[in-house]
Every structure is written in C-alpha cells, then in structure tokens.
Amino acid sequence: MRAFIVRPFGKKEGIDFDAVEADLISPALDELGIGGRTTIEILGQGNIRTDMFHLLLTADLVIADLSIHNANVFYELGIRHAFCDRHTFLIKSSGDEVPFDLKTDRYFSYQRDHPGDGVKALTAALRQTLDSEDADSPVFQLIPDLKAQDRAGLVKVPADFREEVTLARARKAAGDLALLAEEVLRFGLEWAEEGLREVGEAQFRIKDFGSASETWETIRRRYQSDDPQANQRLATIFQKTGDLARSDQAVERALASSDCSVEARAELHALHGSNEKTRWLAEWQGQPAERRAEAALISPFLARSLDAYSHGFSQDVNHYYSGLNALALATIQEGLARAHEEVWADGFETDEEAAAKLHRLSLRRQRLAGAVEFSLEAARSRLARIGGKDSWLEVSRADFTCLTSKRPARVGRQYRQAIAEIPPFDLDSVIRQLVIFENLGVLPDNVGAALEVLRARQQGSVRETKAQAPARVLVFTGHRIDAPDREAPRFPPRAEGKARAMIRDAVAAELEGVDGDVIGYAGGASGGDILFHEVCEELGVATRLFLAGPRDDYVRASVQEAGPDWVRRFDQLHARLESQTRVLSDRLELPRWLRSAPDYSIWQRNNLWELENGLMHGSASTTLVALWNGEPGDNAGGTEDMVRMAQERGARTVILDAGELVDG
C-alpha cells in the first residue's frame, strides 16, 4: 500500500514539520508496511501539480497535517475529499485551532516538541482507518449517492508486466503468476491493486483456485472489502472448491455493491442458483434409485435454485445461461410433480391448492421457454453480425431443444451438430446435466437420444488426464564452487566429494517414507546446483532446471569461472533436461517495471521464482535443501535469502552446513 503525506515543509510557527514526518508519520507507516512520499520528493521530476493530483487520487491513504493554516495543505485536502470517499486521516499539533469548516472532523493530536511519542497511538489509529469501510470525506458523507473516483482509470499497469501475466497464463504457469503477485505486493508499487487484479484474473482462468482465492482476498483485505469484482470471483472460486457457505457470502457482498453491473448481477444470482442446485443434488443423489425422484421433489433446494436462476435471468435477459437453468429446473419440478401427484399434493393443505400451484408452475415453464428461446436466438444473431462463432452457444440451443421438443430424433441431431467442434473430454459437464434427468426419469425419450449421441462421441476417445501432483518437491539452493580468485573460501573445489555426499544423504532421507513421486527443482550453477541434479538422477528422482536467463548468458555468469569441466557437466544436464528446463527471462536483468525495486536483483528474483513454483504443490509438500554456511551472501539473492523466504512460507528447510566444506 502507498500513502501520500500532505503537510507544510520546514519549520513554521514553532513546528518542525520535517521532524514530524521523520519521527512520527514515517515510523507509523513503516510499522504498517506502507510506502509513500510527499510532494517535496517529486519537485525535480516534472509537473508538480500533475504529480500531486495523481498521488492525491491514487494513494491508498492520505495523511494531512492541519496544524497551521497552510493554503497548499487545505487545497490538497479539498481535492482528496472531493474525489475519494475514504482513508483520509487528519492530524494536528495539540492545542492548535483548525478552520471552522473542519471543526467537526476527528483529528489525531501530537506533541509539537516530541512528536515521536505518538508513534504507537498513530499506528493503531491508521490501522483502524484502513480497516474502516465508512466514508470519512465530508463531501461523500453529505452526498451519499456520490461515486468515488475509480482509480483504475488513473493508474497504468506497465506493458511489460502485462506481457508477463499474459505469457504465464498462456503457459498455465501458476508459479510464475505467484511470483508476480508476490513482487507487486513486496515493493508497494503504485499500480499494485490493478496489477493484482490482472494476476488474480489469470490465476482464475487457469483454474489455480487456491492462488486466485489468496490474490482476490488480498485485494479485499488491503483495498476494498466490498469490491464487486473480487467478490464475484471469490463466489465462483468458493463454489468450485465446494465451500458453498463462503460462496453465498461473497455473492451477497457483491450484490450489495452499488457498482455491481447488470451483467454481473445476473451471473451472481446464477451462482447462487448453482449453489442451491448443488445442495439439492446432495439431498437425493445418494438415495436408492426408487426413492430419488420423491426426495428430489420434496427438497426445498429445488425451488430455491429455480428462483435464484429465474432472478438472474430477470436481471439480464441476455444471460441465457441462467434462463436455461431455470427452464431445466422448472421442467424437472413439473415433471416430478405430475409423475408423483400424491407427493406433490402433500405439500399443500388441499388438492385444489396443489393443482393451482402446478398450473402456475406449468405457465412459468412456458413463459421461461419463450424468453430463453428469444435470448438464445438474439445471442446467435449478435454473433452472426460480427462473424463470430460459439460452439457452446450451439450446445445451449441443443439443451433448449431437449427441454422443449417432442421429437427425440431432432434432439439427437441437434446435439450431433452442436458438438462437432468440441473435444470429447469437454462434454462431461453437458452429460452430467442430462444424467440428472435420466436419474429422475424426466423427459426420458429426449434425454436418451441426447445421451446416445454424447456418449458415442466420448467412447474410445483419449481422455484428458490430470498430471499427478508429486508427493514431495525438493527445492535446492546452495553455494557455487569458489572462483580461483575468491579471497574467503566457501566451497573449495577439493570439497566437491564431501558436498555431493551431504546432498545425497539429504535427498535419500527425504525419499524415506514418501508414498508417491518426488521431484527436484534447482538452478544450474557450478557447485551445489549441478551436484543436486546429478545426485537426484542417481537416486531416480526427476528434476527440473530453472535458469535465470538464456543458456549462454547463464553459463557466463554462473558456471564458466569454475572451469571447462563444469561447463561440460552443465551442457550434459541441459541436454538431458531440455524438455524440463524453464527460463525466467530473455536476459539476465530485471524487467523495466522492477528495476526501481530496492535491493532486488535478477538472482533474487530467480530464487523467488523457483521457490514459488515449488510451493504450488503446497508448503507441507515442499522441502528446501540448502547447502549453506549460515552467513550472508555476497549479494542480494543468495542462499540466505532463499532460506528466509522458504521459512516465511512454511516450507520445511534442511540446512546442510557448508562450513564443513572449508573446515574439512
């Protein structure tokens, strides 16, 4: 997060405002992990007014010192209050008066001679302000329907960052996306919120729901808990992971937002309908075959799901998905009610009430059918105008035909045409929905014709199989072989045999008692990295090679100075693991968007990248094996840094005392 401090500069009217920032404000912001600056730091960087406006509107927190009647401070505070509804914090020196128009606002008071005495109290007050969802701007308090300025239009995400996200998404590289999320948060970049949104959306699209959940929750926690986009994504994620209660909560939060669009509302009500449908399925699918239909009919979740889908369709009639689901459930409910009239009637006081309700249900189904047909044809017309094509729209039209047609042969033919360009393994969801009808005995002829076509398409096809997750991931980090001119020995060449034995013992110990595959992740530097790969090959452990840059650049930086034999071993390793080699960057330097990050290098990024990829399998399944002498490295990004990051993330760490390589 970033703060912007609005204050006078230097000493004025007996107050040293530079000292107030240094002794009071900055320590409090540091404690909260918030970066920030004042306008004095941008004087030499361009148009100060433009920069000032930008910072006032995009800062996560603005702190304004109103101790004296400074025109610039009040001007900037007025801009902030006019465009931003929350997270503006007012401070003043104790005993000083403020203008009449601001007398009713709350202030934090500090001692002008000893401002540092208030750090602890200010930290707590700032944390409370950031946690609050209430408007603190008097403008927004007086005009409740006023909309705050959307920061997304003011903050530009760097193009090269977007390219990294796009590439990681295309490769379905979940660890790479986790690296980008970590870096955006670590360095408090001005565009962090929008950058996180792009990462979270990519994680969602590649179905890395665990990481996507963490990213979207971070956006809610750090920026805005009622954020409609975050809540909509979380509603879907929680549904996919089976946490229906939290999914419902996210739906409610998103719907409560005034910024929620019509299209989003339709989708959210459909999500709620899907949650209720899942509960409905759980009530009867485990029942014996002869009891399923009755259990399905009397379940309250059937009507709840139908109502939720119908509500979604009423929000946006272009959202044919919700309408089609409502029509399917209405068809099931009516079909079950007519097939089990006594069970249906038991839910009403009289037979007349039961008959009237069934008649209204039939009319509802008919109205839904007409509206859904119109919606589907409208969607098809829109696509035709732009020359587009959507195979899943054609599947939805086939589903509609199955629900409404009286000719099973037509149903089968329409499904055959609709699925012509859809891979067989993508038809599971279509088949699952039809199996519901099959199990309940609703529309048996139409459903039978549809399933015959769909199952025939799948029969004999090569099914998509999910890669088996390894039982344990070993991530290695360790010292390189000492260069000939190294003054203080750390890994002398003569100790190679001892280092190999230490690494071998550590890997062998990790293999004990593990039920499943073990995989190793490491770089390719001379010394520990290459030894780890060689040991793993001897023990039958597959490894992946992580390189910070292209082969030639990497060899020059991390292998060559150890001598030609190590280059030869690297080339053998590289050739053997060619299909299992990942390259972080096309050059051994940070991307432009990261070059201003303090104390960060391509090697530190490489470590974090390797570790994040390992942790994609879960911290409980990840072990960091570190050949380390326990001392700080020569530069940022060394073994010390890797060990610290692994421990922070809850990974098991096995430290091999590299001090023995010198002492021995």
Dump pLDDT digits (tens) for 250-304: 999 999 988 889 999 999 999 999 999 999 999 999 999 999 999 999 999 999 9
- DSSP H helices in 299-407: 300-315, 320-339, 341-345, 351-385, 391-404
Res 44: pLDDT: 44
**pLDDT value for 42:** 46
Q: What is the pLDDT of residue 101?
A: 53
Residues of the chain falling short of pLDDT 50? 41-47, 464-465
- DSSP letter at 25 equals I
- Distance of alpha carbon 284 from alpha carbon 293, whole angstroms: 8
d(CA 419, CA 454): 8
525: its two tokens: 């530097």
pLDDT at residue number 46: 47
Identify any residues that bridge with 520 across adjacent strands, giving them in sequence order.
474, 543
Q: What does the pLDDT look like over 349-390, one tens digit per residue?
A: 999 999 999 999 999 999 999 999 999 999 999 999 999 889
CA distance 441 to 140: 57
Q: Could you tell me which of 319, 304, 325 has the C-alpha nearest to residue 262?
A: 319
Residue 401: closest CA among 438, 437, 446, 363: 446
* Residues ≥6 apart with Cβ < 8 Å to 549: 557, 583, 584, 585, 586, 587, 588, 602
pLDDT attached to residue 487: 83
At residue 43, the pLDDT reads: 45
Sign of the torsion formed by the C-alpha atoms of 40, 43, 46 and 52:
positive
**Structure token pair of residue 639:** 């073994």
Work out the angle between the directed axes of helices 228-240 and 209-222 (0-180°, nearest 10): 150
Distance CA 293, CA 500 (A): 66
Could you tell me the two tokens for 580? 């299992």
What was the pLDDT predicted at 460? 57
b (16+ CB within 10 A) / e for 601-637: bbbbbbbbbbbbbbbbbeeebbbbbbbbbeeebeebb
Q: What is the pTM of this model?
A: 0.82
Cα–Cα distance for residue pair 438/486, rounded to 1 Å: 75
Q: Provide the β-strand partners of residue 16.
A: 11
Using CB atoms within 10 Å of the CB of residue 286, give its burial: 0 to 12 exposed, 13 to 18 middle, 19+ buried: exposed
Local structure of residue 84 (DSSP, 8 states): -
- 30-46: b or e for each residue (b if 16 or more CB lie within 10 Å)? eebebebebbeebeeee
Which tokens belong to 535? Answer: 């040991």
* Token pair listed for 22: 């240094």
Residue 556 identity: R
Supply the DSSP symbol for 66: -
